[in-house]
A and B are shown apart, each in its own frame.
Chain A
């Protein structure tokens, strides 16, 4: 059965993701003008489809920062943490260039090089631009990106344009200085540290000015926002409208990460993170006709590989030192790989668009007409959230106990939508941490808020019981099946069993609910 896929934006044109990680990928970029879509459709961070086929890397050349954010701790470097602003090794531009070439040669799918910190790239203009300059000369087949807090952005726009850096990400958490003062304790501006509302006012002005200057020059701008409950959550809807009006092509609302052990202001002060449902609701509210990035993984400033994975360990400085890279021949090889991926994506789009051969339906049609004509009615069932454990390939192939994240879908009678991923600590990480299983399991269940069914290739006895108690039906019957088909099968089975009656009390509202779904 061909499922219509609800995109966050325009009508879905294709669904390439079904062949690996996410299972379902609305082409959320289809509403974009052709020239923008051409730039972003192979970009793993911007295109949900591309992120299964192309890889990205960040080089940590930019340590200095010119502002302080309450969700950041500049002291914290850790190889095990995965979040923005964290790195293991700081690099010089020369080292970064060598690392990039080494990764590009070893991972030909790597098409994007970003500079994202660990400080602010534009507060380190010499290091950042030296890296970009060398790479645009030596590796013209790599796209260059940069992300910034925006404070120095207006001063850097000319230089950015010079290096043909066509993707810039600005983190904009507010447009109201009063709110900004609760997020940014200080900025460094015109040779002095400025605090409070005045600091936030300057930062906001610079961000907005930078955004306008970039879009005026045709440089693509994505806006990132950190959702901080009680601080800017409601306000981000207004931010979304404004940045969209000024020409940002994507607005990515990310959840605050604030754990006490990170030592950030918010972590220490007990500022809570948004729940998965709160995040989903805000992302929906901000979406409008602007696509969002539900597959964003909030990568480290030195991440390497496909989104959600980090192969940085294979490319540490001492390992790179011993590598000999012949980039000219690597580039030939890379071009072949990129062509093969493009061909594959093209083929999948074509297959998707082709009419389906459905022998049963054909046979039924040929046979005698049905005894009574049943009016095609919209099934009066409500949409539900189903979580899936997968390690990629578009199938349900991960054990519950090994999953680092669950993909969450909203399934309705006639639609399917990828909502996002819920990160977690795996229930069973081998013998050592299994003793912790109890509390880890509670954390997983909490992260699955709003989910009614969980599909995994296998689920142990203990978590099975706990999940059931929490109102989440575990299901291991669809192991190795394609995600979309399994979701549909599970939903239809539940609907047939009468388990999906709309929550709405009256009969008449049932159809409305189903139609709205």
Chain B
């Protein structure tokens, strides 16, 4: 039983400090959860701390690969507009 982090991760370190088991380590392209240490916070907290603080929808997934924070659940942006967000982060900066 372990959560894991996928490449949507932006590396903000928020989860690292919250993990009661020290299971999360900084890495790129995505931070890594050590499956041997992860308990999904059972016994420590009601809810998995990494998923509670993570600001990125879809970055943390459960053992079935299902996102802990599904699209739209954190920003409140309606599903039909979410593609606009995804386009924004990919090097389309304005000079």
Contact = CB atoms under 8 A, between A and B. Distances in A.
A186 B12 contact: no
Interface residues of B, number: 32
Contacts of A517: none
A76 B12 CA distance: 12
Interface in B49-94: 49, 52-53, 55-56, 74-77, 81, 84-89, 91-94
- Pick from A65, A77, A80, A268 the residue with the most CB of B within 10 Å: A268
Nearest to A123: B14
Contacts of A188: 14, 52-53
B27 interface: no
A90 B16 CA distance: 15
Contacts, number: 97
A64 B77 contact: no
Contact of A63 (B11, B46, B76, B92): B11
B88 A76 contact: yes
Interface of A, helix, strand, loop or mixed by DSSP: loop
Contact of A80 (B10, B89, B94): B94
B14 A66 contact: yes
A430 to B, nearest CB: 11
Interface in A290-336: none
Given A191-B49, A263-B85, A265-B75, A64 B14 contact: yes
A63 B16 CA distance: 11
A78 interface: yes
B89 A75 contact: yes
Interface string A79-105: 111000000001000000000000000
A269 interface: yes
A64 B12 contact: yes
Contact of B85 (A73, A90, A429): A73
A124 interface: yes
A364 interface: no
Contact of B93 (A68, A78, A260, A429): A78
- How large, as a class, is the contact surface on chain A? 35 or more
Given A74-B12, A123-B14, A191 B94 contact: no
Contacts of B95: 80, 429
B77 A75 contact: no
28 contacts: A63-B11, A64-B16, A65-B12, A68-B75, A73-B88, A74-B55, A75-B10, A75-B85, A76-B89, A81-B93, A119-B14, A185-B75, A188-B14, A188-B52, A191-B45, A192-B45, A192-B46, A192-B52, A193-B52, A259-B94, A261-B87, A261-B92, A261-B94, A263-B84, A263-B85, A263-B86, A265-B76, A268-B77
Interface of B: 10-14, 16-18, 45-47, 49, 52-53, 55-56, 74-77, 81, 84-89, 91-95
Interface of A: 63-66, 68, 70, 73-81, 90, 119, 123-124, 126-127, 185-186, 188, 191-193, 259-263, 265, 267-269, 429
**3 residue pairs, one from A and one from B, having the closest CB atoms:** A263-B88, A64-B14, A78-B93
